Amino acid sequence: MIVNALRFVALALALALVPALAKADPITLKLSFITSDRASPYQCYVKPFVDAVNADGAGIVQIKVYFSGAINPDMTEQAQLVLKDRADLAFVVPGYTPQQFPDISVLELPGLFRNEREAGLVFERLAAVGALEGYRRFFVVGAFVADETIHSRKPVASLAELKGQTIRANNQTIADTLRKLGAVPSILPINQTMDALSQGKLDGVVVATSTMMEFGFGRLTNHHYLLPLGGAPISLVMNPEKLASLPPPAQEIIRKYSGAWLSERGALCFGAKDREIAAKLKADPRRTVAMPSPADLATAQKVFSSVVDAWEAQSPRHRELLAPVRDELRKLRSPREDKK
């Protein structure tokens, strides 16, 4: 009798716990983002992932985004937030901290990729197999490369007019390209660029066309030269130990919407926003929008090739990196991949 009574009590307790377990709060992950929810990088590179995870992970896992640098406004510290468990995910621009991501410059090279989709998918594939130093410490949720063009307060309808202008660059590779084209480069984080432009320290900026308007640079730059000068790699990363600590269903949901799923969607979205803004610039009579002439394109391509050759000659590691990049490009450009 006593044994049966104990069994009954144990069963009653277990049944009482079922509703409590069923109503357990989902795991909440903190995502650090350095600008607002209106910015194209968020809309294209982060929001699709957040929305998909929060919809599919209802009751299991949810992501809370901390905007405008609420966790830490320093763009150079975003990767460390993840490594130090101050954030679970973070939006990282590796070009600002090349010492942390020494291999990233291979994705910045000019003239190597045909478009943002191609560059982003190569980035994603290299990161997934651990081919990029620095990224081996992270689970890469999304990998992107934004095409960057020239926007100046001075006329710049040709390469000749670019000479002597002081232009903001996102990374050393684009700075080297600008220098070879005759400009004076200045490497600055994007959130410090407006002050330098307002103070007259810069003549112009190299940024993605859509980003140029969102950060206010368009108020001071009325001349737009839409020659892609190379890419700005961008990534959404997570600590792999944090991912491994989550329940399997939560891990599955995060992996489902990471990698190529997110990188491809982000590239297509960002490219569409760039085209939309470029059309608005062309329709504005106060602005001059120039595409490079065939002669300027030929000159630029020679400069791009020289930048790639010089970069490759810098070290054996650079030569090692170019091989898998070119291999992934061949795969992406195969007839089967081109139809995707």
For range 11-22, the mean pLDDT: 46
Distance CA 167, CA 178 (A): 8
Tell me the per-residue pLDDT of 274-312, one tens digit each, with 9 for 90 and over. 999 999 999 999 999 999 999 999 999 999 999 999 999
- Is residue 299, in this structure, part of any structural domain at all? yes
Q: How many domains, the chain? A: 1
212 pLDDT tier (thresholds 50, 70, 90): confident
- Within 8 A by CB and 6+ apart from 219, the residues are none
In a domain, 2, yes or no: no
- What's the first-to-final CA gap in the chain, in angstroms? 69
Q: Residue 271: pLDDT band by 50, 70, 90 thresholds?
A: very high
CA distances from 296 to 177, 290, 311 (A): 14, 11, 22
Rounded-to-integer distance, Cα 234 and Cα 93, Å: 5
DSSP label at residue 291 = P
pTM of the predicted protein model: 0.87
Q: Is residue 20 part of a domain?
A: no
13 lies in a domain?
Answer: no
What value does the mean pLDDT of the chain take? 91
* CATH code of the domain covering residue 232: 3.40.190.170
Whether 7 is in a domain gets the answer no
DSSP class per residue in 243-282: HHHS-HHHHHHHHHTSTHHHHHHHHHHHHHHHHHHHHHHH
Q: What is the pLDDT of residue 230?
A: 87
- Domain membership of residue 76 (yes or no) is yes
Structural domain of 248: 26-338
4 within a domain of the structure (yes/no):
no
User: pLDDT digit string (tens) for 82-136?
Assistant: 999 999 999 999 988 999 999 999 999 999 999 999 999 999 999 999 999 999 9
- Whole-angstrom CA distances from 202 to 169, 176, 290, 311 are 11, 17, 20, 26
Percent of the chain having pLDDT more than 90?
84
Are residues 91 and 33 in contact, defined by beta-carbon separation less than 8 angstroms?
A: yes
For position 2, what pLDDT does the model report? 47
In a domain? residue 42? yes
